[in-house]
């Protein structure tokens, strides 16, 4: 009897010790959370390279909410979400790596309200561009001007959720604004057959690029005026090397269309200069220049080195030598080795390519992202 009583007291004492230990651990964890460098929110602007489903919510010819898009996107169980790839976008992968608990919500999604937006909001739209005229071929899309208008709405929501002072700190110090835009301004505006021929006759490439840079500078400045401080802005990739361009121009595997790439490089040089000026002129801001062109070109040129079997043929698509004419949809042919293709469809990288691109943006040196990488920006 005495032994049983002794055992019971020992067990009670152990329970008390365990409860105190767990409580102390809870304090340590909570205190640690306040002092860490976790990202506040990810605000994503741009086009179909980072659209997470905004185009699902209005009538447009640019949509990705049909299978097999999203087949490797684990949170949806492989169902399409409106992402123009087989899995995660670069924005999703960066969010994962920087410790966000949830992906940035599409602004137009009905559940993008309340505390759900504290991890971030995605405003990107397939077909969207810097210029409002860009993407007319798709009937409807959300251009950068409207995307910034939408962030203004979000900004007011943050004031209500956190209070004006905390909201300002959260957005200025702990949040990152990523902008991936410009490709459509060339592919679905300036270079578009028939629709743009008048613009090309009346406007030289230099003049058109001047307009792009001027508009984008104003859009980024508007975000700054709404308390954005940490930016990463991607340049335009080698759009003359995508399967669509290779197919319609009947090129060989190792060739790219010269004019689109030439225009992209011209725009990119101007973009880099403009971001340097914004860094100098907007106090407290940090604008990173993401050299997407060189990153993607490295993958295309040395694809075997990175474990790919092709950098020319779309995994999902139809038409021509590189399956590059008809966008990915239920009737498309689809490759089995999705992680071995640089391109998922005629226009967009596969998740496997996005992972490699995101890794360089997160941890790479100034060859691909300058003046610092995304992890360093997060820790500022």
Tell me the two tokens of residue 337: 């080795």
From 42, 47, 48, 350, active-site residue: 48
Cβ contacts of 135 within 8 Å, gap of 6 or more: 62, 127, 128, 129, 141, 143, 184, 188, 189
Measured between alpha carbons, how far is 287 from 104 in angstroms, rounded to an integer?
20
Note if 38 is an active site residue: no
CA dihedral 321, 327, 328, 334 (to 10 degrees): -10
348 is catalytic: yes
Name which of 153, 74, 143, 90 is nearest 121 in CA terms: 153
Instruction: Say which of 51, 72, 92, 345 is annotated catalytic.
Output: 345
Token output for 190: 């300036």
Q: Which two tokens stand for residue 310?
A: 């092709």
Given the residues 92, 285, 348, 350, select the one marked as catalytic.
348
Residue 345 is a catalytic residue: yes
Q: How many Cβ atoms sit within 10 Å of the Cβ of residue 27? A: 9
Compute CA distances 353 → 74, 76, 268, 359, 362, whole Å. Answer: 17, 20, 21, 10, 14
Q: Rounded distance, CA 46 to CA 24, Å?
A: 45
Residues classed as catalytic: 48, 345, 348
């Amino acid at each position: 009897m005495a032994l049983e009583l002794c055992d019971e007291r020992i067990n009670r004492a152990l329970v008390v010790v365990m409860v105190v230990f767990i409580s102390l651990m809870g304090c340590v964890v909570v205190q640690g959370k306040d002092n860490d460098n976790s990202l506040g929110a990810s605000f994503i602007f741009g086009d179909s390279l980072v659209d997470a489903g905004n185009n699902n919510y209005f009538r447009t010819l640019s949509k990705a909410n049909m299978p097999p898009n999203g087949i490797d996107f684990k949170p949806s169980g492989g169902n399409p979400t409106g992402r123009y790839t087989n899995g995660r976008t670069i924005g999703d992968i960066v969010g994962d790596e920087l410790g966000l608990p949830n992906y940035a919500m599409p602004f137009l999604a009905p559940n993008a309200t309340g505390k759900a937006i504290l991890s971030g909001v995605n405003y990107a739209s397939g077909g969207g561009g810097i210029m409002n005229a860009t993407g007319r071929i798709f009937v409807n899309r959300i251009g950068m001007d409207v995307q910034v208008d939408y962030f203004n709405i979000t900004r007011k929501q943050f004031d209500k959720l956190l209070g004006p002072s905390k909201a300002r700190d959260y957005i200025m110090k702990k949040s990152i604004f990523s902008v991936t835009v410009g490709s459509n301004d060339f592919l679905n505006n300036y270079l578009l057959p028939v629709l743009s021929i008048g613009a090309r006759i009346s406007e030289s490439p230099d003049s058109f690029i001047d307009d792009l840079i001027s508009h984008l500078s104003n859009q980024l400045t508007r975000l700054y005026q709404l308390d954005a401080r940490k930016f990463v802005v991607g340049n335009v990739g080698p759009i003359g090397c995508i399967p669509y361009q290779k197919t319609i121009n009947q090129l060989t595997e190792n060739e790219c269309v010269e004019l689109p790439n030439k225009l992209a490089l011209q725009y990119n040089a101007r973009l880099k200069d403009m971001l340097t000026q914004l860094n100098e002129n907007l106090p407290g801001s940090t604008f990173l220049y993401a050299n997407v062109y060189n990153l993607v070109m490295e993958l295309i040129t040395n694809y075997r080195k990175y474990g790919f079997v092709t950098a020319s043929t779309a995994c999902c698509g139809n038409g021509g030598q590189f399956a590059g004419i008809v966008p990915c949809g239920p009737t498309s042919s689809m490759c089995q080795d999705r992680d071995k293709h640089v391109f998922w469809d005629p226009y967009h990288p596969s998740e496997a390519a996005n992972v490699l691109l995101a890794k360089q943006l997160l941890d790479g040196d100034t060859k691909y992202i300058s003046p610092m990488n995304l992890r360093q920006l997060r820790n500022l």
